[in-house]
Amino acid sequence: MAGAGGGSNDVQWCFSQVKGAIDDDVAEADIISTVEFNHSGELLATGDKGGRVVIFQQEIENKSQPQCRSEYNVYSTFQSHEPEFDYLKSLEIEEKINKIRWLPQKNAAQFLLSTNDKTIKLWKISERDKRPEGYNLKEEDGRYIDPNTVTALRVPVFRPMDLMVEASPRRVFANAHTYHINSISINSDHETYLSADDLRINLWHQEITDRSFNIVDIKPANMEELTEVITAAEFHPHQCNTFVYSSSKGTIRLCDMRESALCDKYSKLFEEPEDPSNRSFFSEIISSISDVKFSHNGRYMMTRDYLSVKIWDLNMENRPVETYQVHEYLRSKLCSLYENDCIFDKFECCWNGNDSVVMTGSYNNFFRMFDRGQRRDMTLEASRESSKPRQVLKPRKVCAGGKRKKDEISVDSLDFNKKILHTAWHPQDNIIAVATTNNLYIFQDKVN
């Protein structure tokens, strides 16, 4: 599996770190709900169900060597969103962080957008490692000095102090969404971003909080006719006028904001015709797209539906160019998965730095990688058992039926409570972050 900087050597994934509580008793608030690397890969942010954001910073052992072990340590933790109560509807608004997106870095500080169901916030994360000392009118502890006792003047100087990382909310973008926000995406123009809920997409300016423009609205005049919702949306990585949004019916619409103010008419509609041999009552549900991601080069996009990952060429609308089965063995179990609601799980997917490999999660704490160039796939597991330092991960295999080989797991033994919904890939290196229910696993390419 080709890495970003490496050749065509096989990548061996090793355990690097695990974050989070060790015990099996999972506190609801600790459930990880989003994972995102920043643009340099130095910072890794997670959001959880309790509304907190935890940012890890990469500390490289030896910066001079290109390939060396690195560790991610806690950099900042803050409470991004609090639970709210909508008095009009008598409904609680969850504080769960649905998405985090980093802004491209412009100065010393880092900025990220975090969102719950209703409100988006822009956070500034800045470091403070010096502090002024030597005030004339203030003591070190803050007490004021009587000016009459001052006999000489001095200029305060900056002295080093222990590093302090501060997170402060700079903007709050509220009251623009009636339905639950599922996506935010920052535009390549570095000025605007979009937020999408079940029925609408809004365009914001990063500086302006009291106004947003509605660019997509699929709410029917009569709600009784509602049959389709928006599930994800993303801006093109280079073309600031282009964005896509996916639907619960398995379609993706590409829109050009230059065409009209309200992008209800799509420029392109990506849809694969249904396979009639696989038709069932669950066909629509499993075709619902849970995530859409552009490739880094902007030529492809990837969609995740319940059973598969599809790669689309932006120039071909009638079918994907590649389809990868994530867990086809679940196709015969759809009714049970419908019964226990697992069929509604929203898995995310991600590209590696050079768009050669894609990754997505599955059940039983398995996650899957598909090497597009070498046409190979791999199943790995994030578990405490394989958590020895630098332990190489062993590929896993699920036995769909028939005779089960040694080391294989039968479908019936899969734990459907252990699901990996959120994964992230370092933008340059072969470092991945995989979130189980309440733990964050970091795996790295084996260092020679």
Partner 1 sequence: MFPKGTKRKFSDSGDEPPAGSDDVNQPSSAAVRMLSSYSLQRQSLLDMSLIKLQLCHMLVEPNLCRSVLIANTVRQIQEEMTQDGTWQIMTQALSAANAAAQCSADRLVATEVLCRQTEAAQGEPAPKPFPAVGSEGCSAEEVVVVEEEDEGVEGGVIMSTVSPQAPTAYLPSTFGIDPCWEEETGEEEDEDEDSEECASGSEEGDNDRLVEDSRTAEQVFGTFEIKNPAPSPDPALEELFSDVDASYYDLDTVLTGMQSAPKMGPYDLLESLSSHGPSPLSSSTSCRSDLNELDHIMEIIVGS
Q: Site residues (CB under 8 A) for partner 1?
A: 89-94, 117, 178-180, 198-199, 222-229, 231, 248, 281-282, 284-285, 288, 333, 335-342, 344, 411-417
Q: C-alpha angle 50/127/42, rounded to 5°?
A: 70
Q: Which is nearer to partner 1, 297 or 417 (CB)?
A: 417
Task: For the CB of residue 201, give the shortest distance to partner 1 in the complex, in Å.
Answer: 15
User: Rounded to whole angstroms, how far apart are CA atoms 434 and 20?
Assistant: 12
Task: For the CB of residue 178, give the shortest distance to partner 1 in the complex, in Å.
Answer: 8
3-state SS, residue 336:
helix
Q: Which is nearer to partner 1, 140 or 412 (CB)?
A: 412
Q: Which is nearer to partner 1, 90 or 148 (CB)?
A: 90
Q: Which is nearer to partner 1, 114 or 247 (CB)?
A: 247
Q: Which residue has the tokens 């950099």?
A: 75
Q: Compute φ and ψ for 64, nearest 5 degrees.
A: -75, -30
Q: C-alpha angle 292/296/302, rounded to 5°?
A: 25
Task: For the CB of residue 221, give the shortest distance to partner 1 in the complex, in Å.
Answer: 11
Check residue 41 and report its DSSP letter: S
Question: Which two structure tokens, joined as six digits, stand for 271?
Answer: 């849809």
Q: Which is nearer to partner 1, 247 or 352 (CB)?
A: 247
138, 150 contact by CB (below 8 A) = no
Task: For the CB of residue 417, give the shortest distance to partner 1 in the complex, in Å.
Answer: 5
User: Rounded to whole angstroms, how far apart are CA atoms 48 and 29?
Assistant: 7
Residue 265 burial by Cβ neighbours in a 10 Å radius (0-12, 13-18, 19+): exposed
Task: For the CB of residue 183, give the shortest distance to partner 1 in the complex, in Å.
Answer: 12
Task: For the CB of residue 275, give the shortest distance to partner 1 in the complex, in Å.
Answer: 17
Q: Which is nearer to partner 1, 228 or 377 (CB)?
A: 228
User: Rounded to whole angstroms, how far apart are CA atoms 206 and 188?
Assistant: 12
